[in-house]
Amino acid sequence: MPTPNKAASVAELKDAFQSSNAAVLTEYRGLTVAQLKTLRRSLGENAQYAVVKNTLTKIAANEAGITALDDHFAGPTAVAFVTGDPVESAKALRDFAKENPNLIIKAGVLDGKALSADDIKKLADLESREVLLSKLAGAFKGKQSQTASLLKALPSKFVRTAEALRAKQAEQGGAE
């Protein structure tokens, strides 16, 4: 029979899984409390980094409909629950892991889909959402201005062609 504290922990973790866009499982063995504090700060406001108990977290993930992480609940585990841009959090985790090799990215989920550690590293290599959206807007704007130039050039080209044809006909009419 589960204790009320464990039941509350499972409910809290289940809520964290359901309310986050992504969750990344890490192994933090060998990291100091100061390093974990630095990691939490580097993740910013859009992610919550929590050291968790494997069995309770596995139960909470399963209750939240996430079964892809079951094999990764072994050893000292912490979860980064991402509520903002997952790319920024993946970059923060990747950068911290480069400086602190004791942090190991195990796996994760993004919008209900399982991610391997390599997938999370690829996600970290993406540009942020704002940069991608601005590039897309720039591409649309470029295409619009090309289309506008083309449409603007058509009538003037028609007028020049008609004028050249009229001049040629006048020249041929005057030559006869």
pLDDT tens, position by position, for the chain (176 residues)? 578 888 888 899 889 888 898 999 999 888 899 999 999 999 888 889 988 898 899 999 888 888 888 888 888 899 999 988 888 888 899 999 999 899 999 999 988 888 888 888 888 887 767 777 787 787 777 677 777 777 777 777 777 888 888 888 888 875 55
Which pLDDT score, from 0 to 100, does residue 146 have?
Answer: 74
Chain CA centroid to CA 130, Å: 10
**Amino acid, res. 156:** S
Q: For strand 104-110 and strand 113-116, is the pairing parallel, antiparallel, or unpaired? A: antiparallel
**Amino acid, res. 3:** T
Find tokens 């990691």 and name the residue: 39
Contact in structure between 84 and 46 (CB atoms under 8 Å): yes
| Closest of 100, 77, 80, 75 to residue 90, by C-alpha | 80
| Closest of 84, 102, 85 to residue 38, by C-alpha | 102
Contact in structure between 31 and 100 (CB atoms under 8 Å): yes
Q: What is the Cβ-side half-sphere exposure of residue 15, based on CA atoms within 13 angstroms?
A: 6
Which pLDDT score, from 0 to 100, does residue 135 have?
Answer: 75
Which pLDDT score, from 0 to 100, does residue 37 have?
Answer: 92
